[in-house]
Amino acid sequence: MRNNKKLNMKRNLIFLNLFLIWFFTMPAHAAEGGVENLRKTSKAFASVAREVSPSVVFIQVESKVAVNNSQFNSPFGPGSPFGNDEFFKHFFGDQFPGFPKGQQPESPQKERRAIGQGSGFVFTTKAGKSSGKSYILTNNHVIENAEKITVKFQNGREFEANVKGRDPQSDVAVLEIESGKLPALTFSDSTQLEVGEWVVAIGNPFGLSHTLTVGVVSAKGRTSVGINAYEDFIQTDAAINPGNSGGPLVNLDGKVVGINTAIFSRSGGYMGVSFAIPSNLAQQIAYQLIKKGEVTRGFLGIIIQQITPELAESFNVKPGRGIIISQVNDKSPAKKAGLRQGDVIVEFRGKPVKEVGNFRNQVALVPPGSREKLVILRNGKRKIVNITIGKLPEEDKLAAVEPQSTEEIGLTVQTLSSQIAKQFNVKPGKGVVVTQVQPNSIAAMGGIKTGMVILEVNQKPINSAAEFKREIKKSSAKKRALFLTRNGNIQQFIVLSW
């Protein structure tokens, strides 16, 4: 009996010793395993950098800009914001105090050279391989108004590039260079990208060549951001800064999932929110630009809006399901197919429709002449509508943009197409039309009225609702904006402060 007890005690001591050895050595093993995982992740990023960087280019753009060469000497001095006669002219007209009638100074316009910069990357395309040329994908805003474009590779090679085609509505541009033996990146299916997945951004922020930053996908399908006319952004926390625009956003396989395009910032620098054009959208736009030099978009001829809970109740539909048609244009494909104001679109091409921006993108990418199927709800009843997609008219390429609202000043504007101009009884042309002014808002107190046309914001011409919203965002830091408005035949400046 005693022998059994001794034996059991010995066994227990052995087990206890083994447990203590395991317990005290476990953290070391765990730590080593954690460090090893970090090493593997680090090596993965390094591998992506080696694979992708040779295809990424630094883009230098030369252009001419007009400068005011006024000889007026302001008593405030040249460093003051008031030291420019144009400032006074905007508020007081040509006869502002300090200039006797007939003796106003002339302000001849001169031109100076301006240098801009951005990023881009060589991408695979059959046309490029067979023609002895290579194509570079970048943002339209990087090369817009360029007179000379130079692209520089990591190995020091430089090429002068030509613009093959550009699409301001999606902010995509394609450059062409005379060389067919350059490393090129391939595209990944951006619809397969998942929130939380690692992504790598490579570009030239602040002119620092071939800089790599790492982050995760924060969100997908961001629309109505107010940056482009057609939006379907990937949101990421990978650091993007000025100069990164046009560079690739890639996955850990080194394949392109997006084009780095913009950031949300109150300071002008990175604040943790960056946006990239998804590869599927960029790829389709790029191939059209290479083939035709322009983008042909599908067109239905309707104005659509998101269904709010109040609208859902009014039209007897479930919240978050479908989008509502608020207007059907005459002689449009939608009119011919029998669509009506108040119809709720719930399916397109066999997929549910939930969001206005995504639906517009889908329609725009359908080739004109295609026969497609819409599923709508009319008076609560399901109905199938077959429709032939039309071609978006040139004058209305920006008109399909939904109204842009700026809550901080209480103002909603819409791009001024010929049809919108007719609706609000204003002259078609440049500018955006004010479609709604909130009572007692900053805009209302400043004298902005429905039907007014806003031509400029802070002396910058505005030709789309997206441009207007972008300029208001830029004014948020100073909380002040200068508007040039037109009401009938009268133009005037209005300053709003908030």
Instruction: For residue 440, give both structure tokens.
Output: 């007692």
Of the residues 245, 332, 441, 464, which is catalytic? 245
Q: Residue type at 303? A: I
Residue 339 Cα to chain centre, angstroms: 30
Residues forming beta bridges with residue 149, ordered by sequence position? 61, 161
Confirm whether 396 is a catalytic residue. no
CA angle 57, 59, 63 (to 5 degrees): 170
Q: Based on the residue annotation, tell me whether 232 is a catalytic residue of this protein.
A: no
Q: Residues for the chain: how many in total? A: 498
Report the 3 state secondary structure along 309-329.
Answer: HHHHHHCCCCCCCCEEEEEEC
- The catalytically annotated residue of 55, 85, 119, 141 is 141
Query: Coil, strand or helix: which one is 269?
Result: coil
C-alpha span between 445 and 449 (Å, rounded): 10
Q: List the catalytic residue out of 85, 167, 171, 343.
A: 171
**Number of neighbouring beta carbons within 10 Å of residue 24:** 9
- In which residue are the tokens 């995982």 written? 37
Under 8 Å between Cβ of 375 and 351: no
* DSSP-derived 3-state class of residue 428: coil
- Catalytic residue check, 245: yes
Torsion sign over Cα 121, 125, 127, 128: positive
Read off the DSSP letter of residue 209. S
Would you please indicate which residues are annotated as catalytic (active-site) residues?
141, 171, 245
